[in-house]
A and B are shown apart, each in its own frame.
Chain A
Amino acid sequence: MSSDVRFTDFKSDKQPTWCPGCGDFGTMNGMMKALANTGNDPDNTFVVAGIGCSGKIGTYMHSYALHGVHGRALPVGSGVKIANPDLEVMVAGGDGDGYSIGAGHFVHAVRRNVDMTYVVMDNRIYGLTKGQASPTSREDFETSTSPEGPKQPPVNPLALAHAAGATFIAQSFSSDAQRHTEIVQQAIEHDGFGFVNVFSPCVTFNDVDTYDYFRDSLVDLAETDHDPTDEQEAKEVIMDGETEHMGVIYQDEESVPFSELHGLDSNMAEIPDGAPEDAMDLVREFY
């Protein structure tokens, strides 16, 4: 790790193919700044992404990266981090990727509390398949596959995370560059699974959950007396059906990450040239 890393070092020379004005630009910039600010460099960072617009992020960032299959980025990130605790692992996904096909993995990744950061670019729509309802779409949101709205309540990702025992829950907004960077940074610095749901508007297919909507409605918890270490207060924010919040909602300061809990501190890539020295003991057990 070098101290003179700039966030542009995390940029690849590939131009993003996101639509002009897409919220994902701001989400990604904040992630890169947060990585640089926390003293990481591309060679010790591993970024995992799934499928969809969010999944493209590994291509536009410069680091060790894997662009996987739909919904399964969290297990990949968990495997990377458990195998080598020295790496900084960041997982990126979308609301479809993370809360629909990947919902099961989300719950279990939260439970496992592997020390990594999970950033979900939540635009409340399927963008790359051209505008179908997503798990976070509003009940009456009309799309090509829900002409009268999905007629089912949206997933509340914060509540899902909390119910599964999350040790860090935050929400941010891609166009508020400074706050977004700070929030992701706090997630990185958290000892355990740092979950950030980012409102990352889709300018092409979602004309409801727009920049203006979030700008007008979001309440920044930093401007209130919210105490993220108070679980009861956090619960109230999470279950508040009226107001959308931004900021760190909950943080368990006692969080013990997976690797520490299991006493794993070595890089599993390092193995001897042959069988381990005391391997014959394994055979003798079968006497």
Chain B
Amino acid sequence: MAEDLNWAIGGEAGDGIDSTGKIFAQAQSRAGRHVFTSKDFASRIRGGYTAYKIRSSTERVQSVVDRLDVLVALTQRTIDENLDELHDRSVVVYDGERSWEAEIPGEIDAVDVPLKSLAEEAGGAIMRNVVALGAVCAIVDFPVEKLDEALEKRFGGKGEKIVENNKQAARLGAEYVEENYDGFDYSLETTDNDYVLLNGDEAIGMGAIAAGCRFYAGYPITPATDVMEYLTGRIDRFGGHVVQAEDELSAINMALGAARAGARSMTATSGPGIDLMTETFGLVATSETPLVICDVMRAGPSTGMPTKQEQGDLNMLLYGGHGEIPRFVVAPTTIAECFHKTVEAFNLAEKYQTPVYLVSDLALAVTEQTFAPEEFDMDAVEIDRGNVVDEDSIDEYLDEQGRFQPHYDAADGVSPRAFPGTTAGAHMSTGLEHDELGRRTEDTEERIDQVEKRQRKVETAQNEEDWSPREFGDPDADTLVLSWGSNEGAIVEAMDHLETEENLSVRFLSVPYMFPRPDLSDAIEAAEETVVVECNANGQFADVVEHDVLTRVERVTKFDGVRFDADELADAIRDVAADADEVTA
């Protein structure tokens, strides 16, 4: 495996940490290196510790590790926070001219670069982070010119002069290190590959536009806001619109209205917003309205930890709402899957006229990763609008008095849908229990028919769609790992490590469908030990797996607000595998 570089810049929120990190990530990506970024941030605008971490390699990277090779520290706290990840080859870049005295353990290379002075020399102190990037280029032997394109992208809007000044700042940083320090033992390879670099929220927004979503209503909330920000301005180019609603209640109701008008429609929020939307979620389902509701999970309950990772909403998404609500719950497992599963969510919603929860999490949302552009093949996007009737086909669904039956008791549970404007299609929809015409009823037989009809859609979908998990590793291994959401990448890397370093192979099924779920009973029966990995305290997915297969499973859970890294998962999986060995013996 090619050597990977783990780099970070840390300082106070407001120090420009994010944009500096993004410039370096884009430069690495443009130089044909795979990139995986992660952010450590607090729920505040200015001050407090924040960091942007980049792992890059010529081979695919899909998780974080607990090692830091190069650290740009704008504050002492940055060093303190990351001390346990620094090793004897690590290099720390700091500015000795600043007021704090950097305390850096002796065995670590400390590179003192006068960031501010050099930035002023290039045209302004504000460019000190870019000086640091130049310094890093010299340390890791990465051509400083390869920052240029990313600098143009970042500062192009501010004029030629600013771009040139920044390029100069980077060069001064690189020259300073070359003149004042001996060579370091890093040498970053580059390739001719062209990658795109994006995060999960952006992939969801892009998937929505590709899938024909034209109406989005939402309310800003971390970490779902990037979906709305991505769509704003872009969706208009395709004839759509984004409305920033007054609250989540309004957002889902607007999206519902647009969906009833026939538009592919979506809203996105995070846990607290899902709570608020739950009342209308029942209405969406009962009125059989196709709608995609995206939950980008963060640590809860209540306001919890808004900027931290957790997968704690599963029970809410599976069971939330009064009464019994047929629904689909689709959970992408990678950033690229955020795109593909969003397209799928729209098709499921319209084919079955049922709300779809599209479940992402903070780790997917704020992490950026490189992909070959072909991973987002727009020609492969298929749109299935389901059973939509027009003037010519509506007769089949009119009753003997010529009234349209939007809740027609079809054998497969899927009724016809008439967009407003369709002649003879006028009808009523309601959250009250209703008959085939959509009119309120308390008739026991009609109640039973409609409940069964709605349930039947799920059965039809179970039979007609492919709910398979994504499979990795050795299908015959004694140890089976199950997981959902963003843990996939870290688990796959942990498996690579166990395979190459310890000759230990496991089977891993990454499950993107929480409801309906794939039947995992054969896989669990075939394994000696099954472990479910997820970021919550109770093991919510483990609970539903146990319920489905009536077999106890092991749990690896984490709920400190931080995503899994590959190294800790390798340890956890090794422990379970050791138990499997005991069982076999």
Contact = CB atoms under 8 A, between A and B. Distances in A.
Interface of A: 12-14, 42-46, 48, 58-59, 62-69, 72, 75-84, 86-87, 104-105, 107-108, 112, 262-264, 266-269, 271-276, 279-280, 282-284, 286-287
Given A63-B426, A75-B249, A268-B262, A86 B421 contact: yes
A171 B47 CA distance: 53
A46 B422 CA distance: 12
B378 A275 contact: yes
Contacts of B176: none
A78 B210 contact: no
B375 to A, nearest CB: 9
B431 A268 contact: no
Contacts of A282: 206, 209-210, 234, 378
A48, A269, A280 pick with most chain B CB within 10 angstroms? A269
Interface stretch (B110-118, B250-258, B326-334): B250-258
B275 interface: no
Contacts of B197: 286-287
Contacts of A272: 212, 383
Contact of B431 (A12, A67, A105): A67
B426 A269 contact: no
B427 A64 contact: yes
Interface of B: 29-30, 194-198, 202, 206, 209-212, 214-215, 217, 234, 236, 238-241, 243, 245-247, 249-251, 253-265, 279-280, 283, 287, 373, 376, 378-379, 381-383, 401, 419-432, 439-440
B247 A79 contact: no
A261 to B, nearest CB: 11
In the A-B complex, list the 6 residue pairs whose CB atoms are closest, starting with the nearest: A79-B257, A269-B262, A271-B212, A75-B253, A286-B196, A268-B263
B215 A82 contact: yes
B383 A14 contact: no
Contacts of A264: 241
Contacts of B239: 266, 268
A273 B383 contact: yes
Interface residues of B, dominant DSSP: mixed
A287 B427 CA distance: 47
Given A59-B440, A75-B254, A283-B373, A80 B420 contact: yes
A65 B209 CA distance: 27
Contacts of B381: 274-275, 279
Contacts of A42: 426
A283 B202 CA distance: 10
A34 B476 CA distance: 72
Which of the listed residues B194, B236, B250 has the most CB atoms from chain A within 10 Å of its own CB?
B250
Given A42-B426, A64-B425, A274-B383, A84 B212 contact: no
Nearest to A287: B196
Contacts of A62: 426
Contacts of B212: 271-272, 275
Contact of B429 (A13, A66, A266): A66
A97 to B, nearest CB: 13
Nearest to B420: A64
Contact of B209 (A12, A79, A87, A279): A279
A84 B420 contact: yes
A276 B210 contact: yes
A54 B47 CA distance: 52
Contact of A276 (B202, B238, B423): B238
Contacts of B250: 72, 75, 104-105, 108
14 contacts: A44-B420, A48-B257, A76-B253, A78-B243, A79-B260, A80-B257, A83-B258, A112-B243, A264-B241, A268-B240, A275-B212, A276-B210, A283-B378, A286-B202
Contact of A66 (B217, B245, B260, B262): B260
A62 to B, nearest CB: 6
A78 B257 contact: yes
A67 B432 CA distance: 8
Contacts of B439: 14, 59
Contacts of B30: 287
Contacts of B256: 66, 68, 76, 79
A161 B79 CA distance: 56
Contacts of A64: 260, 420, 425-427
Given A72-B249, A108-B246, A79 B215 contact: yes
A13 B437 CA distance: 12
A82 B217 CA distance: 11
A75 B423 contact: no
A218 B126 CA distance: 67
A76 B257 contact: yes
